[in-house]
Amino acid sequence: MRKRVLGSNLEVSEIGLGCMGMSQSYGATDEQEAINTIHYALDNGVYFLDTADMYGNGHNEELIGKALASYKGTEEVIIASKFGIVNGDDITKRYIDGSPEYVRSAIDKSLKRLNLEYLDLYYIHRVDKTVPIEETVGTMSDLVREGKIRHIGICEASLETIERANKVHPITAVQSEYSLWSRDVEAAILPKLQELGIGFVPYSPLGRGFLTTGFQFEEQDMRRFLPRFQDQNLLNNQKLVNQLTKIAEAMNIKTAQLALAWVLHKSENIVPIPGTKKISHLTDNIEATDVLLNTEQISELDRLFDSAAIQGTRYPGILMEEIDA
Ligand SMILES: NC(=O)c1ccc[n+]([C@@H]2O[C@H](COP(=O)([O-])OP(=O)(O)OC[C@H]3O[C@@H](n4cnc5c(N)ncnc54)[C@H](OP(=O)(O)O)[C@@H]3O)[C@@H](O)[C@H]2O)c1
């Protein structure tokens, strides 16, 4: 597995492993299978693990802590976690907290669950619009000095917020949704990150599993609440994926591999974190790093997945409001 560098000096594997689905969102979970998948990732060069304190209300960080404790290999591990989304009993009760007090209590809890001395990368999960970004990042900068975190990241941030944050402390990575069917960041954010020397970590690079074949919902699947996965939107969007599958078949690769290769070809400062609970899918995703696309093939996919062709927003209204636009 080749490596890429986020920011000025955070070296990570060319793809990471998104661990969220091992604790929530996408149907049934199996702890042993998840731990096996994490071990397989580390043994096969995928050593950049992505989690957050709110995934499974702390379960995901504890799971990674267990996986690291039982890992027999000697490979290096880079752990990224996030803070700032506070879960409530239901989605209408959740809120964002970027206050200095919250940052300080959140990092200590995350380190305890992960059983780590420090985090390699700590992201603001959502920007708290009631707290100046300088205060949140200023507190994170103190955490760097104290040795609790090595690098600072920020998710779903606007251009202005990224620039302001980067003035307080160098931002190593921005993490936002980016895939063939979520291309909002292309126009302004990606060029600005290049200019500022900030890395980009696309989340949901497989469109939450939609940009694959054989996609189907399980019970208790959060995708049922996302507009793109509903009714006529779903039928319309499926037609685009069917065309993606035809192109992948002609190349003798899997649909998911083509979707991931497209993201990887966009820029060297991009490190996608496809999420999977399964070794079989992880194997496909690892192989995708060797898929070569030429400029015509990339342009063809760009045209096929033109933003106007996608029906439905990324999140329902209540969660779109959390995005810092
Ligand atoms: N910062 C944020 O706000 C934010 C938001 C969402 C996610 N994230 C992070 O980003 C990571 C990735 O995003 P995501 O998990 O939402 O979406 P994703 O990576 O686009 O897709 C994950 C889905 O795709 C399936 N999948 C993975 N590889 C596959 C393959 N080769 N073939 C077929 N299906 C495949 C997975 O199912 P199986 O498990 O069955 O393989 C899962 O249902 C998360 O784990 C999380 O760490 C961050």
- In CATH, what number is assigned to the domain containing residue 246? 3.20.20.100
- Ligand 1 probe mutation, 124, 204, 229, most atoms within 8 A of CB: 204
- Boundaries of domain holding 254: 3-320
- Asked whether 207 lines ligand 1 (CB < 6 A), one says yes
Which of residues 308 and 169 earns the better pLDDT score? 169
Q: Which of 19, 281, 284 to mutate to test the pocket of ligand 1 (most atoms within 8 A of CB)?
A: 281
pLDDT of residue 74: 79
Residue 325: inside a domain: no
Q: Is residue 310 part of a domain?
A: yes
The number of domains in the chain is: 1
What DSSP assignment string belongs to 130-148?
Answer: TS-HHHHHHHHHHHHHHTS
Alpha carbon dihedral 108, 58, 263, 27, in 10-degree steps, equals 180
| Percent of the chain residues topping a pLDDT of 90 | 93
Q: Is residue 93 situated within a structural domain? A: yes
Task: Give pLDDT, residue 88.
Answer: 84
Catalytic residue among 26, 40, 47, 55: 55
> Is 257 inside any structural domain?
yes
* Residue nearest (by alpha carbon) to ligand 1 atom 41: 276
Q: 277 in ligand 1 pocket by Cβ < 6 Å? A: yes
As a whole number of angstroms, the distance between CA 67 and CA 120 comes to 17
pLDDT band at 126 (very low <50, low <70, confident <90, very high): very high
User: Which of these ranges, 3-12, 83-92, 126-135, 253-262, has the smallest mean pLDDT?
Assistant: 83-92
pLDDT in tens, 181-211: 999 999 999 999 999 999 999 999 999 999 9
Q: What share of the chain is helix, strand, coil (3-state, %, to 5)?
A: 45, 15, 40
Q: Is residue 181 part of a domain?
A: yes
Q: Is the pLDDT of residue 73 over 80?
A: yes
Please give the share of the chain, as a percent, with pLDDT higher than 70.
100
- pLDDT average, residue stretch 20-40: 96
- Segment 206-222 mean pLDDT: 89
Is 273 inside a domain boundary?
yes
